Chains A and B, each alone.
Chain A
Amino acid sequence: MNRDERAVIRSLPSGVPGLDTVLGGGLPEYSFNLIAGGPGSGKTILAHQIMFANATADRPALYFTVLGEPTLKMLRYQRQFSFFDSNRVGSAIHFVNLSAEVMERNLEEVLQRIISETERVKPGIVIVDSFRTIRAQRGTAEPATFELDQFVQRLALSLTSWEVTSFLLGEYTEAEQRNPVFTVADGILWLSQATDRNSVVRKLQVVKTRGRAPMPGLHTFRITDNGLQIFPRIPEQTLTRRLQKRERLSTGVPGMDEMIGGGVIAGDAVMLTGPAGSGKSTVATQFMAAGLANGETGVIAVFEEYPEEYLARANARNSEVGKMLKAGALELIYLRPLDLSVDEALAAILEAVERLKAKRVVIDSLSGFEVALAPTFREDFRESLYRLVGTLTATGVTVFMTAEVSEAFSEARFTSENVSFITDEIMVQRYVEIKGELRRVMAVIKMRGSDHSHEFRSYEVTANGVVVGGPLTEYDGIITGVPTLHAKLVGAKRSR
């Protein structure tokens, strides 16, 4: 048999957003799989999604329930999900209860019942929920353990010979991975949920898939009315940044483009830092509005304010934002669940970027983003942000991020979160005291591969947005927050 005559392993769609990517293309047809995890980890929902994605009248699905969650309750809850199509129950999807066989008979009869139903229905998908309860009934003594090994082996062989893709669901702990079912299974999906402070983070791991190269690592997922959605872990820079012409994009802020050598470089990651109220969001909105006015599309990810408030404020300064939002050229993504993963945030932003073919992305702000993350992800914030920015800029978009720095009045912090290394361009805003007044100043700290202004410039936040003024050349010590007039100027004043 040459290479072309090899059996082709088709991939079945899982019906779970993100899971096919993690699996390396989908579920291998005719594979014998285990979906393992603790109580409430989402095993039954996942099995139902797979079943509804694949069952047809010609190749139906057989769902065997054993003990544990009563079937009626399972149906009652599962049908709340949008993927549950009750019209297909009874034709494409069949439920069979095995509790009598498990409780009153033996494993042989359980096996025979599964096989006879498989012969009768000729399914494409078979699910046994929960397989763990079969084990619990039989697995207390040595002979029963051996009997269980044989049962698993024969079940796998029978289902494969009937060309069935099968899933056993079970509650297992990591210490139980020597169970025979782990050896026999072609694929193992492990679901877990961890509580950290007040947030719960759900994760999926593909422990094993024969004949596939799945994405390694733990992938966060969320359960919504639509079932599970997996957020594949952003790989470390698998994409290389798209090479672009060194095109300059206007910030839309009068005076600012001049400071940065003609505008933001397309495809760069830009960060604007400053204390509360310094006008960071205003600049971010102006940056987006400038792109929209130029016929570009964009995405704004908001983490601090409610989108309605954000939009009202943005509209008050530039009506273009609201118009473009209505026209579908701009999308406002609101992410503030407090148990967010970086991968989930990226998935939402990337999806919008691809859909709109966006050129500009605003993340407002990194500080809010960090707060929205589940505590476990805050620990890896720098690394996560590195992956997020890397993935976004690899698509060719220009990313404009804001970050709040909490500064003592006389102390200058140019960047926050120790994340400056991820950016190509950094601009800072700060307050200074001049002649007893609080004034705002701005400077450019970093422009990778481009010349830029080295001056501190004053700026105003007006009703129409930020307007950058002239350099504060007559002052020294601006960086201290309390500048003084040049000695030369002081002397000149005295002589007058």
Chain B
Amino acid sequence: MSSADPGRGRLSAQQIARRLIKNRQPERKGSEGRARAAAATCDDLYRELSGWVGLDGCHALFTRALAEARTESAALDEIQLRPRAEPYIDGVAKSITSRGDAATADALEAMLVHLVELLGRLIGDDMATKLIDRSIAAPGRGDTTFDDRREEA
């Protein structure tokens, strides 16, 4: 997935992550609110992937992806994962306040990229893409708007 060639019809992990976030971002918001859209994307993915690989399995994937992304972006310092809770991604509001929307969004996108790549390495790019596509198409997705995300902090 990391070395995917878009010319051959396969999206790179970054393209997939961006597409996921974009799909979650209401048009009326423009580029504003991208960090919350990225967080909502992660929530969706956690919920859907958990159905396949279990809550613990899914949390283990996100934990690894977060750890990898943290080495690249300080904006993830305030982001926490809350297994078995809604929303799954916590600390987004705090991060937006301290780092700004764009930096937080980029950091969450980087985490998503690591997640997609990790999944691809474990079960193959094709099946990873399938699982992720399912999360986009999931019937329960988007029932709550990203503005409604209630974080503990």
Which residues of A65-80 have CB atoms within 8 Å of chain B's CB atoms?
65, 70-72, 75-76, 79
Q: In the bound complex, what is the Cα–Cα distance between A100 and B56 (angstroms)?
A: 9
User: Which residues does chain A contribute within 8 Å of B57, judged by CB atoms?
Assistant: 70-72, 97, 99
Residues in A whose Cβ lies below 8 Å from that of B153: none
A350 CB to closest chain B CB (Å) equals: 37
Check if A116 is an interface residue, CB within 8 A of chain B: no
- Report the bound CA distance from A76 to B122 in whole Å: 6
Is there a chain B Cβ closer than 8 Å to A89's Cβ? yes
CB distance from A99 to the nearest CB of B (A): 4
Complex contacts, A213 vs chain B, CB 8 Å: none
Taking A72-B122, A76-B122 as contacts, is the C-beta distance between A100 and B55 under 8 angstroms?
A: yes
The verdict on A96 contacting chain B, using a C-beta distance below 8 Å, is: yes
Please tell me if the beta carbons of A79 and B52 are within 8 angstroms of each other in the complex.
no
Given contacts A72-B122, A76-B122, A90-B134, contact A97 B54 (CB under 8 A): yes
Expressed in whole angstroms, the minimum distance between the Cβ of B109 and any Cβ of chain A is 23
B130–A86 contact, CB under 8 A? yes
CA distance A100 to B122 in the complex (A): 22
Total contacting residues, chain B, CB less than 8 A: 19
Give Cα A87 to B133, complex, Å. 13
Query: In the complex the two chains form, is A87's CB within 8 Å of B126's CB?
Result: yes
B130 A97 Cβ-Cβ under 8 A: no
Chain B residues within an 8 Å CB radius of A97: 50-55, 57
| Assembly CA distance A99 to B52 (angstroms) | 10
With A72-B122, A76-B122, A90-B134 known as contacts, the answer to whether A99 contacts B56 (CB < 8 A) is yes
Contact between B123 and A76, CB atoms less than 8 A apart = yes
A116 CA to B126 CA, complexed, in Å: 28
- Which A residue sits closest to B125, measured CB to CB? A86
Contacts of A70 in B (CB 8 A): 53-54, 57
In this assembly, does B127 line the interface, its C-beta being within 8 Å of a C-beta of chain A? yes
How far is A233 from B51 in the complex, measured between Cα atoms in Å? 41
Given contacts A72-B122, A76-B122, contact A65 B127 (CB under 8 A): no
Let me know if A146 is at the binding interface, CB within 8 A.
no
In the bound complex, what is the Cα–Cα distance between A213 and B100 (angstroms)?
Answer: 71
B138 to chain A, nearest CB (A): 11
Interface residues of A in 219-270 (CB under 8 A from B): none
Which residues of the partner chain B approach A76 to less than 8 Å between Cβ atoms?
122-123
Task: Encode B90-111 as 1/0 by CB contact (under 8 A) with A.
Answer: 0000000000000000000000
Contacts A76-B123, A79-B124 given: A90-B54 contact, CB under 8 Å? no
- Scan A79-91; emit 1 where CB is below 8 A from any B CB, else 0: 1000000110110
- Is B131 an interface position by the 8 A CB rule? yes
What residues of B have a CB within 8 angstroms of the CB of A90 in the complex?
Answer: 130-131, 133-134
As a 0/1 sequence over residues 26 to 46 of chain B, the CB contacts with chain A under 8 angstroms (1 = contact) are 000000000000000000000
Q: How far is the CA of A71 from the CA of B53 in the complex (A)?
A: 5
Q: Which residue of A has the minimal Cβ distance to B121?
A: A76
In angstroms, how far is the closest chain B Cβ from the Cβ of A123? Answer: 15
Q: How far in angstroms is the closest Cβ of chain A from B55?
A: 5
Chain A residues in 8 Å Cβ range of B131: 90
Q: Are A100 and B54 in contact (CB under 8 A)?
A: yes
A87 to B123 alpha-carbon distance, docked (Å) = 13
Cβ-closest chain B residue relative to A63: B52
Any chain B CB within 8 A of the CB of A95? yes
Asked whether A95 lies within 8 Å of B52 as measured between CB atoms, the reply is yes
Per-residue 0/1 for A43-75: is the Cβ within 8 Å of any B Cβ (1 yes, 0 no)? Answer: 000000000000000000000010000111001
Contact B127 A71 (CB under 8 A): no
Closest chain B residue to A73 by CB distance?
B122
The complex places the Cα of A72 from the Cα of B53 at a distance, in Å, of 6
* Interchain CA distance A90-B131 in the complex, whole Å: 7
Taking Cβ atoms with an 8 Å cutoff, the residues of A that contact B are: 65, 70-72, 75-76, 79, 86-87, 89-90, 95-97, 99-100
The contact sample of 11 A-B pairs, CB cut-off 8 A, is A70-B54, A72-B122, A75-B127, A76-B122, A79-B127, A86-B126, A90-B133, A96-B51, A97-B51, A99-B54, A100-B55
